[in-house]
Amino acid sequence: MTAMQKMKSRGMVPKAVLYARFSSDNQREESIEAQLRAMHEYCQHSGAVVIREYCDRAKSATTDDRPEFLSMVADAKNHEFDFVVVHKLDRFSRNRYDSAYYKRELRKNGVSLLSVLEHMDDSPESVILESVLEGMSEYYSKNLAREVMKGMRETALKCQALGGRPPFGYKVNPETRRYEVNEEEADAVRLIFRQVCEGHGYSEIITELNRLGYKTRNGNPFGKNSITEILRNEKYKGIYIFNRAVSYSHNRTRNNHQSKPEDEIIRIPGGMPALVDEKTFDRVAAIIKGRSRSAPNSRAKETYLLAGKVFCGVCKSSYNGNRQFAGRNKSLLVTYRCAKYNNHGDLRCRNKAVYRDYIEDFILKRIGEIVFAEERIPGLIAAYYESHEELAGDRVKILDRLYGNRNEIQRKIDNGELKK
């Protein structure tokens, strides 16, 4: 007798939700429908009422970054269902840690996990069998990832595209799968490198790109970040690169600017058409390095109490600290200014800067008015005395311990165990 049938024999109606998932490796949308059909038949045979379906499409079970899955776990806290039904345990998770953690979260709310194809109960044998099945699922997933990486490395050694959007300035030949020059975009890339070599700043480059009507792949005007990515990409001097970025962490995040060890990276000079010559690329790299060395020195001379807490009322960007000498006498001006004031050329935000001392004094006064409002004074006094008593209590404990140590030492001296 299944857990659902046992519950029904006690005069209770089991309530269940169904969870289905398919990944994008070797499955199709129809896989979801097949899973749901089998789960509905299972619940009907067991006498359970299905109250909801949760479906994640093209999502891997090696991670918990699945919207419907997380929504189901959260809904379990409402105590509206008794069971989560899956077609197979690997639909729930292929990671042993995640499987154990989320099954525990469900159990904390009185919800049990059931599989249509793997019949488990509360016996010790089922515990062992379930752990073996979870281990096999995780092995399958990791082995598949290894085989996929092996195939991708072979493709990379041929300098072929591996999917995704090609870098700005390139396109992929559908027959050879190799990169070719996208002439319209390539002109913009060459313009960016040329302007940097001529000493132009990002604002001037952005203004020129906007004037000529160039857009990013997303159809947006160029900004500082998009230009920086182009200037640092070695592919533009003809080097094919694969497996550079570090892998995702356990929580599915990664820093794309952080590289793997050199012996794991595939670099093939001449593997793709160069848009700029190596001399120009290296010269631009030296210019950028020189700018990054000098820039922080001028920004680190002031303290900005509201850094990251003030935002532009026009474009919603952050207001950052700004330090400059202005006027006939070159007086020092310290302000907060919109982050987009300089970074977007003729499309920049022109909202005015605010003097640092003025806005910080204003905010501090407002905080004082709120914190020290008359109705808050009794609470502050009570909190002060409570803290003082805790501190005094700690001091009393320390003194008692010291006196105790002194008495013990004196006893040992009296008994001849220690010499003065």
122, part of any domain: yes
Domain interval for residue 394: 376-414
Task: Give CA–CA dist 252/313, Å, rounded.
Answer: 34
Task: Give CA–CA dist 242/157, Å, rounded.
Answer: 9
**Looking at the structure, do residues 346 and 405 belong to the same domain, yes or no?**
no
**Looking at the structure, do residues 284 and 348 belong to the same domain, yes or no?**
no
**Looking at the structure, do residues 216 and 306 belong to the same domain, yes or no?**
no
**Quick count: other Cβ atoms within 10 Å of Cβ 406?**
10
The structure tokens 């008994």 sit at 415
**Looking at the structure, do residues 90 and 125 belong to the same domain, yes or no?**
yes
CA neighbours within 13 Å on the CB side: how many for 7? 19
148, part of any domain: no
- pLDDT at residue 251 greater than cutoff 70: no
- pLDDT, tens digit (0-9, with 9 covering 90-100), for 305-347: 888 788 888 888 888 888 888 877 778 889 998 887 876 556 6
27, part of any domain: yes
80, part of any domain: yes
Rounded to 5 degrees, what are φ and ψ at 240? -80, 130
- pLDDT, tens digit (0-9, with 9 covering 90-100), for 98-114: 777 888 889 899 998 99
Domain end among 293, 317, 335: 293
State residue 296's pLDDT score.
Answer: 44
- For residues 161-190, average pLDDT: 92
Edge-to-edge strand list for the sheet holding 15-22: 49-57, 15-22, 83-86, 112-115
**Looking at the structure, do residues 70 and 26 belong to the same domain, yes or no?**
yes
**Looking at the structure, do residues 18 and 136 belong to the same domain, yes or no?**
yes
Task: Give CA–CA dist 415/420, Å, rounded.
Answer: 12
Nearest C-alpha neighbor of 103 from the set 83, 117, 87, 88 = 83
Strands 266-269 and 239-242, bridge-based pairing: antiparallel
Task: Give CA–CA dist 157/86, Å, rounded.
Answer: 41
163, part of any domain: no
161, part of any domain: no
- For residues 176-192, average pLDDT: 94
**Looking at the structure, do residues 313 and 336 belong to the same domain, yes or no?**
yes
- pLDDT, tens digit (0-9, with 9 covering 90-100), for 110-140: 998 999 988 776 666 666 666 776 677 677 6
User: Residue 69: what residue type?
Assistant: F
Question: What is the residue-wise DSSP string for 343-358?
Answer: TTGGG---PPPEEHHH
Nearest C-alpha neighbor of 29 from the set 40, 38, 20 = 20
Q: How far does CA 305 lie from the centroid of its chain?
A: 27
CATH number at residue 234: 3.90.1750.20
342, part of any domain: yes
**Looking at the structure, do residues 125 and 200 belong to the same domain, yes or no?**
no
SS3 235: helix
Domain end among 240, 259, 293: 293
Q: Radius of gyration (Cα) for the chain, nearest Å? A: 33
**Quick count: other Cβ atoms within 10 Å of Cβ 55?**
18
Task: Give CA–CA dist 188/170, Å, rounded.
Answer: 12
- For residues 353-366, average pLDDT: 91
How many structural domains comprise the chain?
Answer: 4
**Looking at the structure, do residues 278 and 359 belong to the same domain, yes or no?**
no
Q: Contact, 302 vs 324, CB < 8 A?
A: no
SS3 384: helix
Task: Give CA–CA dist 410/81, Å, rounded.
Answer: 69
**Looking at the structure, do residues 8 and 106 belong to the same domain, yes or no?**
yes
| Residue 351: burial class (beta carbons within 10 Å; 0-12, 13-18, 19+) | middle
